[in-house]
Structure 1
Amino acid sequence: MTTNVPVRADHVPRVEAQRRSLTVLVIAQVLSGLGLAAGVTVGALLAQDMLGSTGLAGLPSAVGTAGSALAAVAVGRLSQARGRRPGLALGYLAGAVGSGGVIVAAVAGHPVLLFLSLFLYGAGTATNLQARYAGADLAAPARRAGAVSTVLVATTLGGVAGPNLAAPTGGLAAVLGIPYLAGPFLLAGAAYALAALVLAVWLRPDPLLLARALEADPTADPPGAPDDAAGRPRADAARRRPGVPAGVLVMVLTQAVMVAIMTMTPVHMHDSGSGAAASGLVIAIHIGAMYLPSPLTGRLVDRHGPLAVAAASGLVLLAAGALAALAPDDSVAAYAAALALLGLGWNLGLVTGTAIITDAVPPATRARTQGWVDVSIAIAGAAGGMASGLVVEVAGYPLLAVGGGVLALAIVPVAVRAARDR
């Protein structure tokens, strides 16, 4: 898994390789979605139960996203040196080990081990996001957003099913003598391990290594071939799009706002009398909205450009924050609608930002740059998760929701400025 055979551009047709890569990535993303859902659904509740403090309930999200920041660098560097296959497979394997550590910490009642394990568990989240770049490596410039969307939407099945399995996995955990809230991490560990196996065995040829080979040998991939559906030279397409800073800012803002509101919604619902099934349903709807609209978002970006869609993400996140702030304490439907909008706004921002970054960076340095970009995203998520519990404890959940929505509006001037600079 850590060795590579050099890829020659004339060995595998680009279109065939892209189709195979997307198929393998989709299978792995369905599995990783199950792993991703565990921390979102019960991470904050588990910390609140072990620490006895609402103010510290945002720590699991912050620690997990901090771990994902380190993992994003590691996965990016390994992918740059060895290809996407070993980078993504080892990232998911680390997430599986972290899931096991969370279970041990819950059984032992050891908060320090819990946070160390959640830090490692964050590698699964980072890898889940890094996989979207692999989907775009071999895609034509006019189809990159669509390729990213295909990988993202695959997470929906596992991401929606996972939170709804919180109660059954909790019951299984109780039978095994494990604390109820640690149950979803049993599923997460198995899912991440299977995702790692799928990628290690079947992601061949490596999409990033083949993309580099094609770039080094342009005669193997002539302009106007099926991979360039729009018939545009790649350099022209890249020049007409905004650069790395705009893409980073869009994704950083959407991540910070999404993580802050998402983290504290289950805690707020729990404190208002809602059970684990209700909060699991809301999070399932949220995760579905994060990934399910991806094909539509990809089409919008490919057709209208990323900047208009990026501006729309800021407005949608504002609407999500306002609705969450105004939701009655006992209204599961209102929280579900608010978090659906929150997921949609995040999706719009992530797809647009990813398309911008992929277009702006050549394959020779792409994985390393993408890793550092995702570090920025992870740090933003960690900050949002850390601040969310403190804001709720001091000022209440409604202020957190409204403040997040207002912060998201900063995406609009970023998009406008980038459009003017093109």
Structure 2
Amino acid sequence: MNDQRRILFVLVVSQVLSGAGLAAGLTVGALLAEEMLGSTTLAGLPSALFTAGSALAAVVVGRVSNSYGRRPGLALGYLTGALGSLGVLVAAVTDNAVLLFVSLFVYGAGVATNLQARYAGADLASPERRARSVSLVLVATTLGGVVGPNLAAPTGALASSFGIPSLAGPFLLGGTAYGLAALVLFVWLRPDPLLAARKLASVAPEAPAALRPGLSLGVTVMVVTQLVMVAIMTMTPVHLFDHGHGTGAAGLVIAIHVAAMYLPSPVTGWLVDRFGPVTVSVVSGVTLLASGLLAAVGTGVALLSLALALLGLGWNFGLLAGTALITDAVPLETRARVQGLVDVSIAVSGTAGGLASGVVVAAVGFPWLAAVAGVLSLAILPAALPTIARTREPARS
């Protein structure tokens, strides 16, 4: 128990740091690309590069963690993100667009590592407290995510004093934060949670993986919730602008959405531990359906704020329930590698949701996008039925 508390404390500190680095870079990536290129044509490319880089990094971090432990895997991921930040600074000073895009791809490693750190919180947690442990790691990201964007102006001024373009300033914070997160994990994440869990399992062997259903459901839940969330969230500011609202209104709605994505994590973790991840997965699908239907009929700030809050909450339900399902379903010998591949699926589904959302809105409008995405979330329900049936069968026997 003492080891688990120490591990959670170290993970929380690293997540606060990495959350600040992540949010700071994402805040100005598109603006920096637009400034350097003198055009908005490729201004959306940084987001795609973050996602592509995070997908590749998820595989690498997962494999390194599986072979050598969480400590070197997570530290390597954050260190790579720090190197990407340094590359962005050099690209901004030298006005090298190619280096900028390569560096943004590398910077995506920090995004993947920030997400994968949640798994480390579950390695040594007892089954009845596993989701709550993951929730603490997730909610810590929010603290850094709030600080990071608010430091964009000060870091921009600091960068200008060194002759660096001001829009690259947040990457000073990003690189420093990622570097410190890597240092914290490498020095203090001891014992390594995954290796310690394997050592404990050698004394008290796990149940065979075949007796622990839930892998396919866990993947389905996280992929569907990510696709639905990104699709609706991406086009909501455009929908608000189309109905006469300004950037302040769009910022408020998105801020409420992001808060709902992370802040409920401790409560969601308790719900998963108390009622089981399958039940919370079903609740996730229903919540996302309600969000999509509300967004489809909403044109005002109040109703869209409620819709986006439910969207964030449904995503939170799905992420924590899916994480618990996968952690329970995969044996320790291959757990980190499989978790990395799952996060690749999440990244790809998010990219697909973002790309498809613009096409759908251009063709039939935002209300149809929101309604169809909401209905799509119901795919979680039939996916959950076989798992529910399998888990009830031993009880009846």
Report matched runs for 1:364-403 at 5 Å: 364-403=333-372
Report matched runs for 1:56-71 at 5 Å: 58-71=44-57
Write the deviation string for residues 75-112 of structure 1: whole angstroms up to 9, x where unpaired. 01111111111100110111122233334445555554
1:38 is aligned to 2:9:
no
| Residues 161 and 284, structure 1, Cα contact 8 Å, conserved in 2 | no
1:413 is aligned to 2:390:
no
1:235 is aligned to 2:204:
no
State the match for 1:97 in structure 2: 83
Aligned partners of 2:48 and 2:295: how far apart in 1? 21
- 1:410 match: secondary structure: helix
- Alignment CA distance shift 1:117-1:402 (3 Å): farther
Aligned partners of 1:186 and 1:398: how far apart in 2? 40
Task: Return the offset for 1:235.
Answer: 3.0
**Aligned length in residues:** 389
The equivalent position to 2:74 in structure 1, one of 88, 92, 96, is 88
Write the deviation string for residues 337-369 of structure 1: whole angstroms up to 9, x where unpaired. 433222211111010011001111121211111
The equivalent position to 1:274 in structure 2, one of 246, 252, 276, is 246
Unaligned segments of structure 2, at least 5 residues: 392-397
State the match for 1:311 in structure 2: 282
| Residues 160 and 288, structure 1, Cα contact 8 Å, conserved in 2 | no
Q: Specify the code of the residue in structure 2 equivalent to 1:207.
A: P
Aligned partners of 2:356 and 2:182: how far apart in 1? 32
- Alignment CA distance shift 1:321-1:174 (3 Å): farther
| Residues 244 and 360, structure 1, Cα contact 8 Å, conserved in 2 | yes
- Alignment CA distance shift 1:104-1:318 (3 Å): farther
Task: Return the offset for 1:202.
Answer: 0.5
Q: Which has the higher contact order (CA 8 A, sep 6+)?
A: 1
Write the deviation string for residues 151-208 of structure 1: whole angstroms up to 9, x where unpaired. 1111121123333444554555566665555443332222211111110111011111
State the match for 1:115 in structure 2: 101
| Residues 285 and 314, structure 2, Cα contact 8 Å, conserved in 1 | yes
The equivalent position to 2:12 in structure 1, one of 26, 29, 33, is 26
Aligned partners of 2:186 and 2:174: how far apart in 1? 18
State the match for 1:338 in structure 2: 307
| Residues 291 and 347, structure 1, Cα contact 8 Å, conserved in 2 | yes
- Alignment CA distance shift 1:77-1:235 (3 Å): same
Aligned partners of 1:335 and 1:363: how far apart in 2? 42
TM-score by length of structure 2 reads: 0.86
Report matched runs for 1:324-335 at 5 Å: 324-328=295-299, 331=301, 333-335=302-304
- Alignment CA distance shift 1:417-1:337 (3 Å): same
| Residues 63 and 382, structure 1, Cα contact 8 Å, conserved in 2 | no
Write the deviation string for residues 114-164 of structure 1: whole angstroms up to 9, x where unpaired. 432222121111111111111111111122111111111111211233334
Unaligned segments of structure 1, at least 5 residues: 1-14, 219-232
Task: Return the offset for 1:58.
Answer: 4.7
- Alignment CA distance shift 1:183-1:293 (3 Å): same
Greater shift in the superposed pair: 71-80 or 42-51: 42-51
Task: Return the offset for 1:405.
Answer: 2.3
| Residues 163 and 284, structure 1, Cα contact 8 Å, conserved in 2 | no
Write the deviation string for residues 298-355 of structure 1: whole angstroms up to 9, x where unpaired. 11111111111111112222333344444437x3x55544332222111110100110
Aligned partners of 2:33 and 2:360: how far apart in 1? 17
Q: Specify the code of the residue in structure 2 equivalent to 1:341.
A: L
- 1:362 match: secondary structure: coil
State the match for 1:291 in structure 2: 262
Aligned partners of 2:147 and 2:286: how far apart in 1? 28
- Alignment CA distance shift 1:108-1:322 (3 Å): farther
1:262 is aligned to 2:262:
no
Greater shift in the superposed pair: 142-151 or 281-290: 281-290
- 2:207 match: secondary structure: helix
1:359 is aligned to 2:345:
no
Aligned partners of 1:161 and 1:389: how far apart in 2? 30
| Residues 116 and 340, structure 2, Cα contact 8 Å, conserved in 1 | yes
Aligned partners of 1:320 and 1:58: how far apart in 2? 26
Aligned partners of 2:368 and 2:253: how far apart in 1? 20
| Residues 64 and 382, structure 1, Cα contact 8 Å, conserved in 2 | no
Aligned partners of 2:306 and 2:18: how far apart in 1? 25
**Cα-Cα RMSD:** 3.0
Q: Specify the code of the residue in structure 1 equivalent to 2:246.
A: S
- 1:363 match: secondary structure: coil
State the match for 2:120 in structure 1: 134
| Residues 206 and 331, structure 2, Cα contact 8 Å, conserved in 1 | no
